[in-house]
Structure 1
């Protein structure tokens, strides 16, 4: 007997819009940030020109700040909606090291079940981690952008040069998150369409009378 299914709203409209704006802004920020890094590298390597935007240092800085303001505005919309609607609480909490370890082992064995519209413990931990990285990215970015006006913040990071390293590492963490995120989408491609349509399928709840008929 076929298992009955139903369509439901897996991702509200606000979440979908902010998700794709965030994706666009992050790509612009990363690519322009790599171009800015190339102008004065702090490590013995440079990023390929094809992976950067801006064309020159001034243009890359303009791209970087434009994407930054878009990302900040979009983030405020998402956080406001997430807090007022309790979306963040429902999707990202609770999370515990034990649950993360359990789901990570299941994922490595390709046995982690996926339920549309709900994050497993690994996803919750990753999203919380990337939110913290975002805060670190903004704080270190401000200390680099205005080292005189935000001298206290720059000092908190151990000086301008170390703040650049913190900013770079936070950015690398964001890139790592994006890589993992895309890998998970490739492993479970059915999760992509609901981010456009908002709707997904799930097993329909069985009515008690129906359960009794099945048992009979």
Structure 2
């Protein structure tokens, strides 16, 4: 009778909970944000109605703010855990440009090793980038939401109109990250279950290529 395969904790409970809450809140924010953009577009295109939520401008704004508070609270919890328990230090650092270029080259040739629960240099760089984009989204969002109360912040972004563009571009960056993230999950589907259960077979740390 074969010995049961040992499993190892790769994603703590706090990380898993904040990950899925963040995914839900981000989808709500993006779709409601697209509806808000459609009401006053500054680029020569609009998003299709099926890709938006809220039904009308007021409803979309309500969705956007509800998701914003959820996203901010969830983000603060994740930051507190990441800093307090050393999650960022262990998982996301260090990041060296040479390592990022090396791993990106392997990824483009579909030869990049993938160990469940361990981030390669490209993943670390992308996660740090999306965290920075999140801070930029919050800051530009505040300058749009309260341009009088946060006039100094709005001025820092070059005015209300430019702050809207910064907010939109940061959002586009986050959407791009999500697309890449989902593509990697499709390429390495065994990484999905550990984000639900928290555990993966020890053998998953010893091989596999994406």
TM-score (norm 2): 0.94
Distance 1:204 1:188, change over 3 A: closer
Contact 2:35 2:60 in 1 (8 A): yes
1:169-188 equivalent positions in 2, closer than 5 A = 169-188=169-188
Q: Offset of 1:78 from its aligned partner? A: 0.7
Distance 1:115 1:27 in 2: 27
Q: Offset of 1:201 from its aligned partner? A: 1.3
- Counterpart for residue 208 of structure 2: none
- Where in structure 1 do 4 or more consecutive aligned residues deviate above 6 Å? none
- Counterpart for residue 115 of structure 2: 115
Distance 2:106 2:139 in 1: 35
Structure 1, residues 28-64: CA drift from partner, whole Å, max 9, x if none? 0000000000000010000000000000000000000
1:156-167 equivalent positions in 2, closer than 5 A = 156-167=156-167
- Counterpart for residue 51 of structure 1: 51
The answer to whether residue 5 in structure 2 is matched with residue 13 in structure 1 is: no
Give the RMSD, CA atoms, in angstroms. Answer: 1.6
Distance 1:129 1:191 in 2: 21
Distance 1:5 1:105 in 2: 33
Distance 2:73 2:124 in 1: 23
- Counterpart for residue 90 of structure 1: 90
Contact 1:133 1:174 in 2 (8 A): yes
Q: Offset of 1:5 from its aligned partner? A: 5.6
Distance 1:95 1:161 in 2: 34
Distance 2:165 2:21 in 1: 27
Distance 2:201 2:105 in 1: 26
Structure 1, residues 105-151: CA drift from partner, whole Å, max 9, x if none? 00001110011111000000000000000111111000000011111
Distance 2:158 2:196 in 1: 43
Q: Which has the larger radius of gyration?
A: 1
Contact 2:9 2:198 in 1 (8 A): yes
Distance 1:146 1:5, change over 3 A: same
- Counterpart for residue 137 of structure 1: 137
Question: Structure 1, unaligned stretches of length 5 or more?
Answer: 206-216
Question: Structure 2, unaligned stretches of length 5 or more?
Answer: 206-210
Q: Offset of 1:191 from its aligned partner? A: 0.2
Q: Aligned to 1:8, what secondary structure does the other structure show?
A: strand
Contact 1:5 1:204 in 2 (8 A): no
Distance 2:200 2:96 in 1: 27
